A and B are shown apart, each in its own frame.
Chain A
Amino acid sequence: MTATPTATAKQQPMQPVPALQAALAAEHTAVYGYGIAGALLTGGDRAAALADWRTHEQARDTLEAMIVKLGATPVAASPAYALPFTVNDARSARRLAAALEDGVTQAYLGLVAVSDTTLRTFGALAMQPPANRAAEWRGSTVAFPGMGALVPHGGLPAPHSPWAPHIPPAWHAGQLIRAGGPR
């Protein structure tokens, strides 16, 4: 699944807690997904999956602490998640790992839309490790990590301004893997 522009340019700014919760949900998904992917991998790939799994556990704990600090209750992990495709061998496990990292990258991109500049920077920096891991698992880089596809255009030039930016809608985190039972 790719990111979808679910709002218009006139929407309210992204709020910190929902954006953090979306990132936490993506980390929960990654922790679950690496459990499946790692079981199907061997050698260096298995070691990499284990390291990545631990990294996502740490990121999950960091996000939970941030959400608690803001006075909210962190979203809980689901008991199981529906995978986006059948995962039954090493090749599909590597593909799943890349998809998990894409989902996390996309979720952190949602944090970049909040107005708090500290959280923006946190989200932008947090995108880079999963984008790198996705490239490692995929074997290639992408032009717009976290965006899935090119940015939509939706803005209009401001009156009386010789140069104006197109302001597209903000991108929201979409869940790559839905909570629910495995397929």
Chain B
Amino acid sequence: MLAASTTTLPLFLALSACAGPNPLAGPPPLSSDVRGLFDAVTDEQNLIWIYKRTMASYSAVAPALGALLAEHEAHLAQLRAMIVEPPGKTIPSTVTRKPAVPGTAATAVAQLRAAEQSATTAQLRRLARAAAPLAQLYASIAASEATHVSALTALAARSPGR
């Protein structure tokens, strides 16, 4: 094997350029499909965080929200399952948006509704660049989130604090 030195390194790099990926160039950039999946995972984690905080703050709406939360957890699990983790690495599980829980149940549900609407729009933005089966998953999750918007609209109408 060649020892890395000022004389052998250029030759090594030249050969590497012909033979395949450069081992000294660091990891290759993430594909657009993986970047899209990471974004979708983050969005789901953010939604789940808001649901949990809202349910902890307003027990009266918790049963109704629990069913929707379970569907987001299913979305998250499915999105995570779509990513092959390299050895020793895990998919980031960071929540990037932590809005304050509003002062009434109705406004808290309205905040969830707005978050669901934004999530639907974000899923649709991912469609164009995604592989067809991933685009279908995003579209299905967007449709699920659209049903959540309707369910939350109905829930907000009968929640305390209107």
For residues 113 through 172 of chain A, which have their beta carbon under 8 Å from a beta carbon of chain B? 113-115, 117, 120-121, 123-125, 127-128, 131-132, 135-136, 140-147, 150-151, 153, 155-158, 160-171
Q: Is the CB of B31 within 8 A of A161?
A: yes
User: Does any Cβ of A come within 8 Å of B57's Cβ?
Assistant: no
Identify whether the interface residues of B are mostly helix, strand, loop, or mixed: helix
Most chain A beta-carbon contacts within 10 A, residue among B28, B85, B133, B144:
B133
Closest to B142 in A: A124
> Given the complex of chains A and B, what is the CA–CA distance between A114 and B130 in angstroms?
11
Q: Is the CB of A115 within 8 A of B132?
A: yes
From B27, B68, B82, A141 is in contact (CB under 8 Å) with B68
Most chain B beta-carbon contacts within 10 A, residue among A115, A155, A164:
A164
A interface residues, how many (CB within 8 angstroms): 48
Residue contacts A-B, CB under 8 angstroms, 22 given: A112-B127, A112-B132, A123-B139, A124-B123, A124-B135, A124-B138, A131-B143, A132-B146, A132-B147, A140-B67, A141-B67, A141-B148, A143-B70, A147-B140, A151-B137, A153-B81, A161-B31, A162-B28, A163-B85, A164-B31, A164-B34, A166-B81
Residues of chain A having any CB pair with chain B under 8 Å: 9, 13-14, 105, 109, 112-115, 117, 120-121, 123-125, 127-128, 131-132, 135-136, 140-147, 150-151, 153, 155-158, 160-171
